Structure 1
């Protein structure tokens, strides 16, 4: 209700003493009556204050009193005439000076009648809202039963409620919405959606965000509303509930496809004449449910993506696109869900298939890149399989050849460790990781430096290579990285 509604009520017979059109459009949250010398403890922001002017002993009292009311954020003042027989000019002047609308109540209208009137009007508004919501629920369910698309429901909601509305996924795909959203706007919306202690919540840009789907915020959708009039009540709870039917329907179809592909795995089909990128995603410190949520997020970011879960529990997929373009999309879209990961880390590798290159080699290169991404402490780390180093060049080699190379170079060391549990491979990895420093390797392994020297000597005998030579050291380094899973998987 607005101040104007109080003024226009014929049964109250109010008279306007001060206030322009903007003042009369102020929202009235409640009506309170007070004549205390300091009204602040008894009024609240948005209140219409009824006063009999008992506090006014002198003309100077008016400015002080009205100043206190204005500072409390009240909507306006209703002054009674019973005490003075009229409203003194100094009261009118004070309201004009402090920008408060002033209404005069006739002596025959007690303040209790004004309070009752407001209560009756508020009850009527609530009843109208209940009826309107029931009608809206029936209308939505009828539209769903008739096969209406969610885009149609969003458009109808916008027109009916005079709002702008969108339906978004957690990575920023706009499922429905009639107006454009910029990428920064989507970032702000999802930052609120994924980090707010509870939903609904309001973003910095006064957008209201409701969750569509209970539980995991990564797999949920979000209904976003921008009201054109703050006095409206377009919260969209009913629309969010209906949107959940569409979200769940899409999720069920996707999960059925995944279940079939995971239960009956088939090699990824190779498409000639199409640029393809492979993706390997490792989820650290997560659960099976987390992997499924990340899988859904990747499919949402890359609609053309085909995925499977490999034997090591990694998410492996192929999509149409370039290496850098795919990596950019994954980095931006998965980066949006990072606030909801709660200590879980995603290491993602991306590689592009070169002309005449087997797809298995491309996936192996992506796996190597994802392993390199483990070294990044960020919640989401995306690496591409560049061939600007010896290790990068090895990633372009098919996984089978990598395995043969590693077994050829370190086969005798692996057999010796298997028979004697000597820890030679672990020592070699530490030694190479410490740039050939005996003492640093010993400190890292918590052994005596002489132990490291003995084991390295045994490795040189078994492999026939001299770790003092650059080429021999490079061979051993690449073989160790292959066996540790930092290139294509063995």
Structure 2
């Protein structure tokens, strides 16, 4: 916007009192109104200063005041006629001496209208520029330009910071690094806001990239450099959707071929691998799925997208039971940690859908089918857990670890059958047999240590353990019977839950 544009605007009805062609071509960065005796705190370079001449008490005031405006880098002056009924000649002379163009505003045009006009025209110019830039970006993307180049291009043009993220927190492109807490805040807004665009607690504007469910969508987060800047992110989101959809189409084609013509997972000797089995369950009595997820089939596809996003090198298929089965490079602990963290982020968008995920490491020389079976057992156990996303690992390097892969319902049924008579006896007689058994097993079967820990006579411990053996039909001197009772006690005390 130039001074000439303000002068030529018919709705403002301005009159030029001083200024040549060069003066009128000056760029107007903003319009400010002030009548303070010292205007310098309110005037920035490129400002068009609107004044009602309240500061003018005598003719000599004009040269001092206009000199201060010129020294502050003002682009020009708009003088109002309301106070004097005209523009005094000394004001015109001062503007001529200090090289500032002078416009006269009629009494019927308030300074606020001039400010609004500049804002509207600036927004229109920026809008046309952004539209042109968006068209250029689409052409560049079609020609194969990288999305990070387009994000950087947009951010520089609009004076903003911008990021493109997936629903699980992968940063596709961005102008600067994001911390995990920042990613969490962005996705919490993206996946829970009633509608998008929305603004995060950190004043980032979040737009959805891609229609449909919020799990397979991407998100554009924009931080403007100043509150008044409108980044026009919808245009960049539309461009980014071309990139997202193109990548999604290639991935879905690969999945369709893999599911239609299933093949064994590749055997990669010497590589540390983990198997993942993910089950999708519909919760009864609640709406099934978040936005765009009406049923389990749609959710399974969305979760498959999320899993591939979290673990880029994973190979997946859908087995005969409708479970998502995959194999990825990495240790069991690291894989479970990534899955728990990344799938946990999409939990708010799952609605009435629960995910039960099992992870198992492949042991040396172990067939891959055995690793997948262990992961499947862990996912079955995860069904019993609360919460929308449950991740269990198949800890099968000990008897207790193997037992944790058994579903929780079966664990409790086993414990109640083994210790049921003992619990019933304690309920009727208050004999404390179950507590004695737990202490005795914790002391590795030492009668004396158990007696000392419980502060009872040694014979009391012997009597109680004998009574337990009679009620359960187990002999605590036999290793297999002691293991049965040990697992039953741990189950009932809640110690079999995996960490």
Q: Distance in 2 between matches of 1:427 and 1:173?
A: 38
User: 1:343 and 2:352 equivalent?
Assistant: yes
Determine which of 310, 316, 329 is the counterpart of 2:319.
310
Q: CA deviation at 1:121?
A: 2.7
Contact 1:345–1:378 (CA under 8 A) maintained in structure 2: yes
Q: Distance in 1 between matches of 2:175 and 2:123?
A: 30
User: 1:173 and 2:170 equivalent?
Assistant: yes
User: 1:386 and 2:383 equivalent?
Assistant: no
User: 1:229 and 2:226 equivalent?
Assistant: yes
Q: Secondary structure of 2:36's match?
A: strand
User: 1:17 and 2:36 equivalent?
Assistant: yes
Q: Secondary structure of 2:352's match?
A: coil
Q: Distance in 1 between matches of 2:392 and 2:221?
A: 33
Aligned twin of 1:295: 304
1:190-269 paired onto structure 2 within 5 Å:
190-269=187-266
Q: Can you give the 5+ residue segments of structure 2 that lack an aligned partner in the other structure?
A: 7-11, 18-32, 45-49, 55-77, 86-102, 283-287, 289-295, 425-470, 488-499
User: 1:149 and 2:158 equivalent?
Assistant: no
Q: Can you give the 5+ residue segments of structure 1 that lack an aligned partner in the other structure?
A: 26-47, 53-77, 86-105, 397-401, 403-425, 442-465, 479-490
* Cα deviation 1:111-167 (Å, max 9, x = unaligned): 534354344334423431342233123212221232211111111112211211111
Contact 1:368–1:395 (CA under 8 A) maintained in structure 2: no
Contact 1:12–1:114 (CA under 8 A) maintained in structure 2: no
Q: CA deviation at 1:391?
A: 5.8
TM-score (norm 2): 0.62
Q: CA deviation at 1:368?
A: 1.2
* Cα deviation 1:209-264 (Å, max 9, x = unaligned): 11000110000001111111222221321110011011111111111111111111
User: 1:437 and 2:420 equivalent?
Assistant: yes
Q: CA deviation at 1:174?
A: 0.8
User: 1:129 and 2:126 equivalent?
Assistant: yes
Structure 1 residues 163 and 22: CA distance shift in structure 2, 3 A: farther
Q: CA deviation at 1:435?
A: 4.8
Determine which of 324, 330, 334 is the counterpart of 2:333.
324
Q: Distance in 2 between matches of 1:314 and 1:141?
A: 38
Structure 1 residues 256 and 110: CA distance shift in structure 2, 3 A: same
Structure 1 residues 289 and 20: CA distance shift in structure 2, 3 A: farther
Q: Distance in 2 between matches of 1:313 and 1:355?
A: 28
1:57-72 paired onto structure 2 within 5 Å:
none
The count of aligned residue pairs is: 360
Determine which of 358, 361, 385 is the counterpart of 2:370.
361
Q: Distance in 2 between matches of 1:217 and 1:307?
A: 21
Q: Distance in 2 between matches of 1:244 and 1:428?
A: 48
User: 1:376 and 2:385 equivalent?
Assistant: yes
Q: Distance in 1 between matches of 2:410 and 2:395?
A: 28
Contact 2:131–2:235 (CA under 8 A) maintained in structure 1: no
TM-score (norm 1): 0.63
Contact 2:209–2:218 (CA under 8 A) maintained in structure 1: yes
Contact 1:431–1:437 (CA under 8 A) maintained in structure 2: no
Contact 2:277–2:325 (CA under 8 A) maintained in structure 1: yes
Q: Distance in 2 between matches of 1:202 and 1:128?
A: 25
Q: Distance in 1 between matches of 2:105 and 2:391?
A: 76
Q: CA deviation at 1:372?
A: 1.5
**Greater displacement, 279-288 / 129-138:** 129-138
Q: CA deviation at 1:309?
A: 0.8
Q: Distance in 1 between matches of 2:104 and 2:15?
A: 13
Determine which of 461, 467, 473 is the counterpart of 1:468.
473
Q: CA deviation at 1:300?
A: 0.2
1:419-430 paired onto structure 2 within 5 Å:
430=413
Contact 1:150–1:243 (CA under 8 A) maintained in structure 2: yes
Contact 2:276–2:372 (CA under 8 A) maintained in structure 1: yes
Structure 1 residues 225 and 434: CA distance shift in structure 2, 3 A: farther
Structure 1 residues 266 and 22: CA distance shift in structure 2, 3 A: farther
Aligned twin of 2:443: none
